[in-house]
Amino acid sequence: MSSRSRTSSQGKRWNGKNTTSTHWSSQSYSMKEIPDQFSLPLVVRCNPQTLFTKRSQPLPVNLGQPMLLYESRTVRKLLARNVLYDERAKKFGETDETVVIPADYQGHFLRLNARTARDEIIHNSVESLAKSKATAFVNVNKLTAFQIGKNQQSNYYPRLEFSPGSVFIVDKMFKGTTRQKVEGVTPDIENPKQELCYLKCRDERNIDILIPLGHPGEFIEVLPNTDEQSTKLSMLSSQIITNQKFPQLLRYVYGGTRPRLTSYSGLFTALDSFEETSLIGCVLNSSGYTLVELPLTSPLSFQIALNSNDLLNVPVLKQAWRLCNKQSNSFASDMKFKFKFALRLLESNVQENKMDDDDDDPPSATNSARFGITHSYIYL
């Protein structure tokens, strides 16, 4: 550890059986200073009085608890906005929730023929999709199709319902006949036959289905893979970062871990790509351990446990170290929720202002400087 630390203050013991006390630095260090001046892993703590969040949206992890900072990493990422279906408007729309998708994330995405969820829909019928020779598409509205059974001799086609945002791989046009029920026809006389056209497709469960060409609704075509040598429509985030212009509407299809979102449709609007250095750590909650990612650009500051090397022999820290050693690589490469919150600066030159205790929201951007408030975020 660095010898530049100032005098320390003694802290509480980790548990009743442990005789090792924590010696915290009197100085707080910024996110950028920590990897420059100290070696990892390192035990730190954030001043909880600096955190300023909505009562209706508390921090999902207690940053006031001690934390084990395990390692740093630098990687390019996609910044994307969560897209959900609005039942009232009967269409998709971007939400305020954002995620980060690292370049080494192992999930696969489809690129849709739309920049954002607000773009004008090109295909307003299944017939339009068929004529455009689309290889795959996503439905914007609820869709009813008919399952093709394994028994080719059977005329039974079970009805299947698909929610908005489902993916379909197009196979070919299919013509079939059905008997049209006519009022007043006696039972011993067969109803007349009617020829119908269908689009034969395969859904995400690899089930063959038929969709009537006259089915109403809106549909978004899937764009081909930018790698002409690839046999897959789907692409990794690293390929999208390298080849894509933003914004771009994406549909997650498989692989990787889903993000920690309130609601999830699999649709995202990729806003931009950027390179970022961050620290991977483990918060020592009373109920367990929580892995977090902290960007170096965050204005958060931490006190350092000056006797971190001794503390790493304490059982609770040993367990946190084992968790990080086992899961930090997979956690670091996962798609993660970007949780934003306000941060109160406790600097001497910040004017002390009384804030209304009943105010449920952080100050507006206009008043942030006056109140000594800035904004930060963590990845979960």
Span 169-210, pLDDT tens digits? 999 988 776 655 545 555 555 656 667 889 999 999 999 999
Show which of 188, 222, 256 is a domain's final residue: 222
CA atoms of 25 and 378, how far apart (whole Å) = 23
Domain count, the chain: 2
Q: Are residues 128 and 189 in the same domain?
A: yes
| Res 262: pLDDT | 83
| Res 192: pLDDT | 64
Q: What is the pTM of this model?
A: 0.83
Residue 311: inside a domain = yes
Q: For residue range 269-327, what is the model confidence (pLDDT) as tens digits?
A: 999 999 999 999 999 876 788 999 999 999 899 999 998 888 888 888 999 999 999 99
Whether residue 358 has pLDDT greater than 50: no
Residue 7: inside a domain = no
Q: Are residues 214 and 133 in the same domain?
A: yes
| Res 188: pLDDT | 54
Name the residue with higher pLDDT: 95 or 61. Answer: 95
Q: Are residues 136 and 192 in the same domain?
A: yes
Whether residue 373 has pLDDT greater than 70: yes
Residue 274: inside a domain = no
Question: In sequence order, which ranges of the chain are alpha helices (DSSP H)?
Answer: 33-37, 126-131, 237-243, 308-311, 315-333, 365-371
Residue 230: inside a domain = no
> Which two three-digit tokens encode residue 327?
């899961």
Show which of 203, 222, 241 is a domain's final residue: 222
Classify residue 20 as left (phi > 0), alpha (psi -120 to 50) or beta. beta
Q: Are residues 56 and 139 in the same domain?
A: no
Residue 33: inside a domain = yes
| Res 82: pLDDT | 96
Q: Domain limits at 330?
A: 24-74+284-352+361-374
Q: Are residues 137 and 68 in the same domain?
A: no
Q: Does residue 317 contact residue 68 with C-beta atoms inside 8 Å?
A: yes
Number of C-beta neighbours around residue 250 at 10 A: 24
Residue 370: inside a domain = yes
Q: Are residues 128 and 211 in the same domain?
A: yes
Residue 178: inside a domain = yes
Q: Are residues 66 and 151 in the same domain?
A: no
Show which of 204, 222, 240 is a domain's final residue: 222
> Mean pLDDT score of the chain, rounded to an integer?
83
- Distance of CA 180 to CAs 97, 152, 183, 195, 302, Å? 49, 22, 10, 10, 74
Residue 233: inside a domain = no
